[in-house]
A and B are shown apart, each in its own frame.
Chain A
Amino acid sequence: MNELIFFINKVLISGSIIGSIYALGAIGVTLVFGILRFANFSHADLMTSGAYLSFVFAALLPGLGPVIGLPTGFVVLPLSILFLAAFAVTIDVMFYRPLRKRNVRPVMLLVASLGVTLMLHGVIRLFAGTSPRTFFAEQNKDVFRIDVPFETTTRDLIISEPQVLLIITTIICIVSLHQFLTRTRLGKAMRAMSDNSELALVSGINTDKVVQATWVIAGTLAAIAGTLLALDVVLKPDLSFNLLLPIFAAAIVGGIGRPYGAIAGGLLVGFSETLAVFNWSVLLRPFAEYFPEWVEIPSRLNFVPTEYKIIVPFVILIAVLIWRPTGIFRGQVI
């Protein structure tokens, strides 16, 4: 039983956590692609910016968390969302909109987004420096150890408070996004514009407003994903830049432009990563007596060494691009 709990901790819990982060990031990327038709490489640094915003607000309002009984960084999240959504809209007005007005090809917008990402990179390092920071300098990070009521188990299920918050918040985000896209006029207009932007214009849909709503949602999701990731690990300038490629893999695997695909893609990539780096000999060891004598179970048996786990999303990505280039949910072809 201990082995099974080890598996749940290392694969199921870790997979849902990293999968949630990928899903939140991939939804942002895929929505922007669906509406504006370009791969927004600055999304990961938008996430990092959101985390730093939360850090600043948490430093300004340190007493807030203990009063409510949650991490301060989480409690100030609404403020960061507000600022980051406004920031994302401002970036669009300053950089992307002038390019759109000139009817440039999407690849130009992609290059512009690389410029934006480098800028955010620089600004964050300029103000915050490069050293890692923690949200839990003055507050304890609660870790829940759940005792499994079996006589033979000595291990506990382990999950930290930020991780619980992350999973709950991700579910709330997905449900509200679904409600927004299927119930509200603006949400339906977003789907319509993603389907066919010319027809949206011809129908009299206010496409500028749809674009703005897209950035507000992208900013909101980035603030949530960035902050919750920083609460789970540590806050550093390259917090989510390293996640850019798995996030894109998740968006493409799910079908680019398809928000539900991005969720599926995020979880798929997340779980594949944790399954690939899991040490399977832990699960095999209890069954050693059933193997023939000449079989020796190695001490480590994983598909991919942990330090190379970045190859997992790429393998999935390449497989999808070869066999199903539109992704699981049949999105746009890039």
Chain B
Amino acid sequence: MLINAINLVAGYGGEPVLRGVNFAIDSGDIGVIVGPNGAGKTTALKSIFGLIRLSKGSVQLEGEDITNVPPDRRVRLGIGYVTQERNVFPSLTVRENLEMGAFIRKDKFSPVIDNMFELFPPLAQKADDVAGQLSGGQRQMVAIARALMVSPRLLLLDEPTVGLSPAFVSEIVDRILTIARSGVGVLIVEQNAKRALEIADIGFVLASGKNLFTDSGKNLLNDPEVAKSFLGG
């Protein structure tokens, strides 16, 4: 297993938001976390990245326990994280945003930046524009590219397509498939459960901080019970 999160219990003080959830995905797999509002999807992602202290449970990256490793060290270990909002540096140019993603790299990273411009061609033309002036979709591309600059093993994406126009949604989804095909494990939190499960190798349906269903995306889509409760019939 690339990432194995076992029995996570976590919250923001008070009642825990996560009440013992499990996630596990392999390299090159796309895992999708879906569920109703307040199910703890974003909290799950944050606790895998180490932004929230776990009160119980453990996180393992390729068998190595990283439960107590702070988030900036997890970046070094190969976990990239893209938050839902405020995920670019608005006053920096696109190129500078990518350079900041590579801050921990000691090697020459200009080839990696070129790779990113190949992966997201619209960014190549905007390389010297400040990120704050880009459209929502382009900004999302900058955010994902920034996280990919460290060549992570695992990429965590929090609602990467929220608020984007349909054209951008399919472009982003397409890129996510490309990224996974290159061997990176991708774990996505998604509001639009139906579309997300279509590309999921494995889907995790959360409700009230617990795993409700865990299965391949296809099986979950065809499961009448999942359909009834989460996919609007």
Contacts and interface: CB of A to CB of B under 8 A. Distances in A.
26 contacts: A188-B99, A189-B103, A191-B91, A191-B96, A192-B89, A192-B96, A194-B91, A195-B91, A195-B92, A196-B86, A196-B89, A199-B87, A200-B89, A200-B100, A202-B71, A202-B75, A202-B81, A203-B75, A203-B100, A203-B147, A204-B72, A204-B76, A204-B101, A205-B72, A205-B103, A206-B72
- Tier of interface size on chain A: 10 to 19
B227 interface: no
A60 to B, nearest CB: 41
A307 to B, nearest CB: 41
B100 A201 contact: no
B103 A185 contact: yes
Contacts of B100: 188-189, 192, 200, 203, 205
State the main secondary structure of chain A at its contact with B: helix
A204 B75 contact: yes
Interface in B53-99: 71-72, 75-76, 81, 83, 86-92, 96-97, 99
B147 to A, nearest CB: 8
A63 B153 CA distance: 62
Interface in A196-251: 196, 198-207
B113 interface: no
Interface in A92-145: none
Contacts of B210: none
Contacts of A203: 75, 100-101, 103, 146-147
Given A188-B99, A192-B100, A201 B71 contact: yes
A196 B90 CA distance: 8
- 10 closest residue pairs by CB, A with B: A204-B75, A195-B89, A204-B104, A192-B89, A192-B100, A205-B103, A203-B100, A195-B91, A204-B72, A188-B96
Contact of A188 (B51, B81, B92): B92
Nearest to B96: A188
